[in-house]
Structure 1
Amino acid sequence: MPDTDRAPAAPEPYEKRHKRAAPWAPGGRGTREPLDPHAPPPAPGGLGWTVRPAALAEDQVDDGPPCPPPGTAEDATDFDPGFGDIRLTEARQDIVIGRWQGVRDLFAVTGDNWPRRTHRLRVLSNAAAAGSVSETWAEAEPGNPDALVLRAATEVVRVFDEAIALHGGVRPGKGSGVAESRLDGVVRSCLRAADASPLDPAPWISLLTVARLYGKGVRGPELQRWWDGLRRRDPHNVEGHTQLLRYFSARWHGTHGRMYGFARDAAAVAPQGSPLPVLVQIARVEEFRYVIESAAAQGTPPPCETGQHWQHEIAVTDARRTYARWLGGRPEGPLLPEEVGSLNYLTHALCLAGLDAAASDAFALLGGRAARAPWSYTGDPEGQFTAYRRARRGAGRDGG
């Protein structure tokens, strides 16, 4: 095992290494070359190591599910974004009152559990966006890489909020309206975080997220570098894959076909028991949103019967395949908070596809832990989640 207690040699700044290709440099943005999202991940050599606390007491190690089993109240539906992660809830409360120390301690015990760290960072960056905790922490501990990672992720949340405000409270699509100079500043913040925490996939997820806001997208070589940066550190990261999937969607810089192709390719090579196959269900939700919202913007009815979007043969086959690949190969045990968001997408698809027994199994894992997306795109999220859960309780395992 590498010696993580030994400080690494300072890496050459990322912007210096890739100055010519940087899209935020003068003249850097031009024709976008094709991205190969499924080339073998680059070799991991030369990444360096993030400096973490030298030793954690035994009771400080975050080595198990940080949440209780699904809710004690049988029908309680809980939309808390922490998904039952008690330590995360405590750190989020610290942010509300302006304290950063609990956030620092949480990231320290999370260590290199990348799925859990990704989930926690997403929740905390959203909580921090309205205040100054991320800046205060970075100023108080300028050598702490976790502080820079949180600050970069928080800047991404803020710039998306700015884009939404520019569109009158509606989520933007291609042509966000945010000035490129503002986006370039966010990119530089992400690159500083990447240099400070060279093993962490989070800054690369942040880069893939903010890439969508550029009106003409990001040049192919640079997007490929950011994608490689993620896969080199966490090749099966669901959040990072989801951000690139959205970049390839018709809403942003691609087409339905390219989005589905990316999702199916990623699902095909995912290890058994990985949640990555749920990308196909996320793609179906993105297509549905685009069709419905485009029709609403034009004042016309949807072009087809929306129920068939979820119930036609391909949709049903895809949902059944994801259930088999993910839940069929998943180790026994309680659902972890970092799995809850993805399982809501699969459960939604199973319910609308009429796969009642598989949906029952999914609800048995979820308990009452609900995510507003994707339920909010097809109606009242609480009403749907609660009604489907009650209707499918005890249906058994799907044999198809």
Structure 2
Amino acid sequence: MALLRDWGLALGKWAGRPLAQVQKDSGDPEVQRVRHAAAAGDWSAVRQVLEARPESEDRTELLWAVGDTAGVERWIDTVLEAEPDAALPRLVAGVRYISWGWEARTGARAQHVSREKFEVFHARLRTAEQWLYEAAEREPQWTSPWCGLQTTGRGLQVGQSTARRRFEATVRRDPHHLRAHQQQLQQVCDKWGGSHEEMHAFARTSAFGAPGGTLLGQLVAIAHLEHWLSLDAGADRVYMHRSEVADSLHEAAEHSFRHPDFVRRGAWIQVLNTFAMAFSLAGERGAARECFRATEGRVTEFPWYYLNGADPAAAYRQHRSATGR
């Protein structure tokens, strides 16, 4: 097995490009640390990692690494009882119940989800809302509770007005919070009760309202991918090959990852993967190749699972090969 592995690595180097592998996080070592601590039920270590980061975009990935860890729901209640006035345990509980709720719902389309699963989904999201509101009351300046409430709101179908208020509460505290904008973009998609026009307008306003080098340029690419997803076979390709789509992607790229102030931090790999897929589907091979080169074989599940949910890296490799990389 070792020989086969070494041969595979050598082949990847010989081919002049790194092997494509799904990257589960940004590479921040604290993500693995907090995930292991959460799995072990070590609240002291979880708290130490989370409290060392500002309550903003910097904490987001760490917080959701805890929330996505199975078993947190089995020990977090004990922490809540022991620290009745603390905001952080309530925030962690809220995020875990969001993730746990979506685990119950599964990623299937609504018509394929049973009533029983929806009941569990909604019950867990309502519990999440309780913890998130309590965290927000204890720490009024924190961003994360409101960002979490954006996600629960979509699952509970609170409506566009309430969803917008929750988004605005988040960005009042952190104007360029990427996850908050990603959540609101989903909220205004046609599939969640919005429209293509509203979605594209929100993406452009958010991206170009932020300073040059912003990660929010990704929103423009996501909006085109969401529009593409909504169309039937054939019509989807025609849409992505429209000249105005390519122009829009290039304009967003210039304001985002091509800008001299772009910093490779946080979710930057996901941003490049999103542009890589969008440019590839748009037939912009040179621009797609530029993005693939910058990712250095690091694949993020989003957005490639839109093409291959079972193996996002396979979709990445296929499209990278088509660009000549």
TM class by smaller structure: 0.7 to 0.9
The yes-or-no answer on 1:228 pairing with 2:168 is yes
2:189–2:195 contact (8 Å) kept in structure 1 = yes
Asked whether the equivalents of residues 66 and 72 of structure 2 are also in contact (C-alpha less than 8 Å), the reply is no
Partner Cα separation in structure 1 for residue 45 and residue 324 of structure 2: 38
Q: Confirm or deny: 8 A CA contact 2:19 2:297 kept in the other structure.
A: yes
Aligned partners of 2:69 and 2:124: how far apart in 1?
Answer: 21
Q: Given the alignment, which residue of 238, 241, 266 partners 1:308?
A: 238
Residue 281 of structure 1 aligns with which residue?
A: 221
For 1:231, what is the secondary structure of its paired residue? helix
Q: 1 CA distance for matches of 2:123 and 2:18?
A: 49
Question: What amino acid does structure 1 have at the position aligned with 2:178?
Answer: V
Q: 1:135 aligns with which of 68, 77, 82?
A: 77
Residue 108 of structure 2 is aligned to residue 149 of structure 1: no
Q: How much does 1:377 deviate?
A: 1.3
2: CA distance, partners of 1:371 / 1:134 = 29
Q: Quick one: which of 343, 346, 350 aligns to 2:279?
A: 350
Deviation at 1:141, TM superposition (A): 3.9
Contact 1:116 1:338 (8 Å CA) reproduced = no
Where in structure 2 are there 5+ consecutive unaligned residues? 1-11
**Could you say which structure has the higher helix fraction?**
2
Q: Report the 3-state secondary structure (helix = DSSP H, G, I; strand = E; otherwise coil) of the residue aligned with 1:327.
A: coil
SS of residue paired to 1:134: helix
| Higher RCO (CA 8 Å, separation ≥ 6 residues) | 1
Which stretches in structure 1 are left out of the alignment for 5+ residues? 1-71, 292-301, 395-400
In structure 2, relative to structure 1, the CA distance for the partners of 1:196 and 1:367 (3 Å cut) is farther
Looking at structure 1, the residues matched to 257 and 108 of structure 2 have their Cα atoms a distance apart, in angstroms, of 35
- Residues 1:198 and 1:368: Cα distance change in structure 2 (over 3 Å): farther
* Pairwise CA distance, 1:280: 1.8
For the Cα contact (< 8 Å) 2:31–2:61, is it kept in 1? no
Query: Could you tell me which residue of structure 1 aligns to residue 108 of structure 2?
Result: 170
Q: CA deviation at 1:382?
A: 1.2
Aligned to 2:188: 248
Asked if 1:238 corresponds to 2:178, the answer is yes
Give the C-alpha shift of residue 77 in structure 1.
Answer: 2.5
Does residue 191 of structure 2 align to residue 261 of structure 1? no
- The residue aligned with 1:21 is none
Q: 1:360 to 1:100 in 2, by over 3 A?
A: farther
CA deviation vs aligned residue, 1:304-341 (integer Å, no higher than 9, x gap): 343233222122112111210101225366x2243222
With structure 1 as the length reference, what TM-score do the two structures score?
Answer: 0.67
What is the CA distance between 1:130 and its match in structure 2?
6.2
Indicate conservation of the 8 Å contact 2:164/2:184, yes or no: no
For normalisation by structure 2, the TM-score amounts to: 0.81
Residues 200-249 of structure 1 deviation map (CA, whole Å, 9 limit, x = unaligned): 2111111111111234x3362x3343222111111111111111111111
User: In the superposition, relative to structure 1, how do residues 130 and 252 fare at CA in structure 2: closer, same or farther (>3 Å)?
Assistant: farther
**1:236-267 residue CA offsets vs partner (Å, 9 max, x unmatched):** 11111111111111211222222222212212
Does structure 2 conserve the Cα–Cα contact (< 8 Å) formed by 1:129 and 1:155?
no
Q: Distance in 2 between matches of 1:254 and 1:365?
A: 33
* Within-5 A mapping of 1:249-398: 249-291=189-231, 302=232, 304-331=234-261, 335-379=264-308, 380-389=311-320
After superposition, the CA RMSD in angstroms is 2.9
Amino acid at match of 1:311: H
In structure 2, distance between residues paired with 1:310 and 1:241: 23
After TM superposition, give the deviation of residue 143 of structure 1 in Å: 4.0
Runs of 4+ in 1 over 6 A off after TM superposition: none
Distance 2:323 2:93 in 1: 42
Which residue does the alignment assign to 2:6? none
- Mark the CA change 1:116 to 1:330 in structure 2 (over 3 Å): closer, same or farther: farther
Amino acid at match of 1:287: H
Aligned to 1:93: 36
Q: Percent identity?
A: 24
